[in-house]
Structures are given as structure tokens and as C-alpha cells.
Amino acid sequence: MSSLSNEHDSQHEESPPTVLLIDDCPDVHRLLRARLHSETIDLIGASTGREGLATAVEKSPAIILLDLDMPEMDGFEVLRKLKDNPETLDIPVIVLSGLQSPHDKVTAFDLGAVDYIPKPFELTELRVRVRSALRLFSLMRMLSQKAQIDGLTGLWNRAFFDERWNGEVERVRRSKAPMSLAVIDLDHFKSINDTYGHPAGDAVIQGLAKLLRQQTRASDVCCRYGGEEFVIIMPDTTPEDACVVCERVRVEMENTIWPRHPKRQVTLSCGIAGVCGESTPDKDAWLEAADKALYTSKQSGRNKITHQALDNAPLRQAG
């Protein structure tokens, strides 16, 4: 049996922030890639306004460097569309432009740009301003995330799940990629609190959160849904593959020795509902299907996993 008291808590490593350059001039792309290579960023590029908008939605960059003078769709229109889209609204935009009239600058700031650097720009100044924008982005993200993190476990909370779930279902609807949702509930949790006290119950909740972080990928979204219930959004994952991951969590939980009650085993039940890329149900119906799978696990004896592909396939169990 394993004990949570001495395990190292593995954490998902953060990747460097992404900077998106939208500019129709190949020389600008080559120049910035050469001069910003020493910065801890992932610089990606788009050569048209439409490509830039699509990339901004797909990649969610930390900041955007935007040229104004582009054919077909100029930078002003790109900036307007970025700020009209809830998915890109909060991305800081630094304008890089040969247009230097006061009117152009005022228009860019009115549309939501955070900075305006005239071309030809001084590269040292550009680096400093990019760093400043990245610091601002990081601080704003920290403030936003703090309100969406569960204080006991450090996982995302219910408010974050509700917001993220909407976006993930829409993404799957567009891409037709597989995705699974797992709902996990601790078995007989009330008796832990009643018998050993709330500190013991808190330790169990924290222990499960730790297992979820250890067994899932950086792309998976683990949330404390409420009380002793957790959810995992698993992009690009079929229900069968999600079941493999959750089975590892179930086995680890079953085999854990708890310092406050070493002779009392704690188990979990899980329900999984997912799609394999063929159809996408309504987000509420999807969540309800995962809840029903969890109910089946509970009714059939607990300490089980029930999974189902949402294409009228039968329920299947593990554990």
C-alpha cells in the first residue's frame, strides 16, 4: 500500500508564454524571430489578419504584436474583432506600425491596444515593452485564477469548470475531436468526517486531488466540483482511454494508507461520458450522462468506474 504522507507532489510544468506576431512582411517575422530568440517566449506568426484571428483563438497567446497596414483586413479591423470576441478579448495587443499620425494612435488605443510602437522600431525598446506586457498578462492571469482555485485542494473550482466546460464542448463541436468527462465521488465520505473528524476528511479530499494531479496530463482539467465530488475534462480522449486513467486513480486511492485512520480504507466511484469525434451532445446532457454513469457505479457496489460513449453505446464498468 502507498502512503500519501511521504510522496513528492508532481506538478505540471508551465510552458513559456506564446507571443503571436500578425504582420504581412516576412522580413519583420525574420527580424523578430532572430532578435527575440533569447527571450523566454514561444514566438508564432501569421501573415494576414484572418489567419491572425484564427491563430489567436486556437493558441490563446499571452500577447499579440499587430501590424496595422495589411491588405484585405487591416490591423484596425483585426483589433476590433479581437476585442469583440470573448475568447480573445483579454489578450494584450501591442501595435507595431508605420502609421504614425496621432489619429491612428488614438484609434488603436480606443480599440483596446495596450501599447503602440512606430516602425522602424528600436529592438531594445521592443524587448522591454514585450517583457512589460508579459508581466501585466501574468499578473492579470494570477488575479483571475485566484478567484477560480479551490482553497483546500489547489484544483480549479466549480466556477472555473462551468466556464471552461462551455468552451471545451464548443471546441469539440467544431473540431470533431474525441473528449471525455469524468465525475468522481468519494464513497461513504460522510462517515469519515463523522468518525475521524473534519481534518481527516480534508486530508482525504487533498489526497485525492494530489492523485488527480499525478495521474493526469497538463491538458486535462481537474476541478473540485463541490464537497467530495471532482470532475476531469479530458480533451482528445475517448471514454475507454479515460477509463484507463481513472482506473489508475481508483486503484491508488484504494491502496492508500491514511495517517489519521490507517485501518480505514477510502474508495471512490466514477462515471465517464465521452465522444469519439462523431457527434457532440449538449453540454448539460453530457454532464447529466456522466452523472448517470456515476450513479450506476454507486448503485452496483461502489469502488467502480462506469463509462459510456455518447452514441447510444451500452454502459461498461471497471473496478
Q: Which residues contact 26 (CB under 8 A, 6 or more apart)?
A: 47
8 A C-beta contact, residue 1 and residue 258: no
pLDDT for the residue numbered 155: 95
- 163 and 231 belong to one structural domain: yes
Which CATH number belongs to the domain containing residue 36 in this structure?
3.40.50.2300
Q: Quote the number of domains for the chain.
A: 2
CA dihedral 259, 8, 247, 277 (to 10 degrees): 140
Task: Judge whether 4 lies within some domain.
Answer: no
Terminus-to-terminus CA distance in the chain, angstroms?
17
Task: Judge whether 216 lies within some domain.
Answer: yes
8 A C-beta contact, residue 198 and residue 186: no
Task: Judge whether 2 lies within some domain.
Answer: no
- 136 and 279 belong to one structural domain: no
Three-class SS state of 51:
helix
Which CATH number belongs to the domain containing residue 178 in this structure?
3.30.70.270
- 153 and 140 belong to one structural domain: no
> Whole-angstrom Cα distance, residue 84 to residue 231?
31
Three-class SS state of 9:
coil
Q: Greatest CA separation found in the chain?
A: 75
Task: Judge whether 285 lies within some domain.
Answer: yes
Task: Judge whether 13 lies within some domain.
Answer: no
- 73 and 214 belong to one structural domain: no
- 166 and 303 belong to one structural domain: yes
pLDDT for the residue numbered 75: 93
8 A C-beta contact, residue 55 and residue 27: no
8 A C-beta contact, residue 292 and residue 272: no
pLDDT for the residue numbered 213: 96
- 132 and 169 belong to one structural domain: no
- 47 and 73 belong to one structural domain: yes
Number of neighbours of residue 53 by Cβ within 10 angstroms: 19
Q: Of the residues 100, 121, 145, which one is the last residue of a structural domain?
A: 145
pLDDT for the residue numbered 161: 96
8 A C-beta contact, residue 239 and residue 232: no
Mean pLDDT, contiguous 10-residue spans, the chain (319 residues): 41 73 94 88 94 94 94 93 90 88 91 90 86 85 80 93 92 91 97 95 97 95 96 96 97 96 97 88 93 96 94 63
Grid coordinates belonging to 84: 469583440
Grid coordinates belonging to 10: 508532481
Q: How many helices (H) and strands (E) does the chain have?
A: 10, 13
Task: Judge whether 61 lies within some domain.
Answer: yes
The whole domain housing 214 covers 149-318
- 80 and 213 belong to one structural domain: no
Separation of CA 185 from chain center? 22
Q: Is residue 25 packed enough to be buried (19+ CB in 10 Å), middle (13-18) or exposed (0-12)? A: middle
Task: Judge whether 8 lies within some domain.
Answer: no
- 159 and 40 belong to one structural domain: no
Q: Of the residues 145, 172, 202, which one is the last residue of a structural domain?
A: 145
Q: Of the residues 97, 123, 145, which one is the last residue of a structural domain?
A: 145
Residues found in the chain? 319
- 314 and 185 belong to one structural domain: yes
DSSP letter string over 117-136?
Answer: EESSPPHHHHHHHHHHHHHH
Query: In whole angstroms, how large is the CA radius of gyration of the chain?
Result: 24
> Whole-angstrom Cα distance, residue 157 to residue 169?
18
> Whole-angstrom Cα distance, residue 253 to residue 59?
35
Task: Judge whether 7 lies within some domain.
Answer: no
Please state the pTM of the whole predicted model: 0.61
Phi and psi at 180, nearest 5°, equal -130, 150
- 122 and 245 belong to one structural domain: no
pLDDT for the residue numbered 44: 96
Listed residue (316, 317, 162, 186) closest to 264, CA to CA? 186
8 A C-beta contact, residue 91 and residue 83: no
Encoded amino acid at 6, one letter: N
Three-class SS state of 97:
strand
